[in-house]
């Protein structure tokens, strides 16, 4: 009954749409971030599969088709960047240096904190690419011997924490520049951060979209270095 392509697709869309409706009914900002539709969908779908006894492989026959569109959806964010290309040209040095430092510090802190907490290397590898999009994080984690599905969950949790904490950080440090806001959200909280940035304004959304792409490239480039650092400490 469930062993077909349509089951995973229909289940994913129905649960996600219901999660979106639930999220729209919540007016508290923090609670709304916690009950993120993506996170709620993962929990609900996992529970349904467990209760019905449906293997993940069966669900993924359709689910994988949805996952395929993560990449194109990320690329589509560049439309906003094109509309704000003059801002990029004006601030390109600060933007690229900021994203590079943000990506490097994020990965390095992951290693340091994991070592302090005595987390094993397998988990550290899995968590290293958590600040980029799901597609890149899953690919990197799998390539370096990490646990790909767990990397996807780490990405979502990172994004949710990012969009909860970011407004507080911006308020404390009085970060009002739209470029800085967009770069910060996109680099620290990937697609979820960019979605939040788009709600703040077109410039923030465009810079967030740029950050996703550039941070992804930089994370791929930095991963071998981080593995060397991990093995050295």
The whole-model pTM stands at 0.74
Quickly state the pLDDT bin for 71 (edges 50, 70, 90). low
CA-based end-to-end distance of the chain? 51
Residue 7 Cα distances to 16, 43, 52, 68, angstroms? 14, 17, 12, 16
| Stretch among 69-78, 162-171, 222-231 having the lowest mean pLDDT | 69-78
Looking up tokens 């590898």 gives 125
Higher pLDDT, 165 or 114: 114
pLDDT for 214 beyond 80 = yes
Measured between alpha carbons, how far is 50 from 63 in angstroms, rounded to an integer? 16
Q: How many CA atoms lie within 13 A of 26 on its CB side?
A: 15
Yes or no: say if 171 and 149 are a contact pair by the CB < 8 Å rule: no
The pLDDT tens digits for 12-34 are 999 999 998 998 898 876 777 67
Q: Please name the residues in contact with 169: beta carbons below 8 A apart, sequence gap of 6 or more.
A: 175, 184
What 3-state class would DSSP assign to 22? Answer: helix
The pLDDT tens digits for 121-171 are 999 999 999 988 887 898 899 899 999 888 988 998 888 888 888 888 888
DSSP annotation of 84 reads T
Looking up tokens 């290397």 gives 121
Yes or no: say if 211 and 219 are a contact pair by the CB < 8 Å rule: no
Measured between alpha carbons, how far is 224 from 80 in angstroms, rounded to an integer? 32
Instruction: Describe the chain by its helix, strand, coil percentages, rounded to 5.
Output: 85, 0, 15
Yes or no: say if 211 and 180 are a contact pair by the CB < 8 Å rule: no
């Amino acid at each position: 009954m469930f062993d077909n392509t349509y089951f995973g697709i229909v289940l994913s869309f129905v649960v996600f749409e219901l999660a979106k409706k639930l999220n729209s009914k919540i007016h508290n900002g923090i609670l709304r971030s916690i009950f993120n539709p993506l996170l709620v969908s993962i929990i609900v779908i996992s529970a349904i599969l467990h209760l019905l006894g449906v293997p993940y492989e069966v669900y993924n026959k359709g689910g994988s088709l949805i996952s395929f569109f993560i990449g194109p959806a990320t690329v589509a964010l560049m439309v906003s960047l094109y509309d704000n290309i003059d801002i990029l040209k004006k601030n390109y040095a600060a933007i690229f240096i900021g994203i590079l430092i943000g990506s490097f510090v994020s990965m390095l802190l992951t290693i340091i904190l994991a070592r302090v907490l005595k987390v094993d290397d397998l988990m550290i590898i899995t968590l290293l690419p958590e600040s980029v999009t799901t597609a890149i994080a899953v690919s990197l984690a799998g390539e370096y011997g990490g646990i790909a599905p767990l990397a996807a969950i780490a990405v979502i949790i990172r994004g949710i924490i990012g969009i909860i904490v970011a407004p507080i950080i911006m308020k404390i440090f009085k970060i009002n520049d739209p470029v800085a806001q967009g770069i910060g959200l996109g680099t620290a909280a990937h697609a979820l951060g960019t979605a939040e940035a788009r709600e703040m304004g077109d410039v923030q959304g465009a810079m967030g979209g740029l950050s996703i792409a550039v941070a992804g490239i930089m994370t791929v480039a930095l991963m071998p270095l981080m593995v060397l650092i991990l093995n050295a400490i």
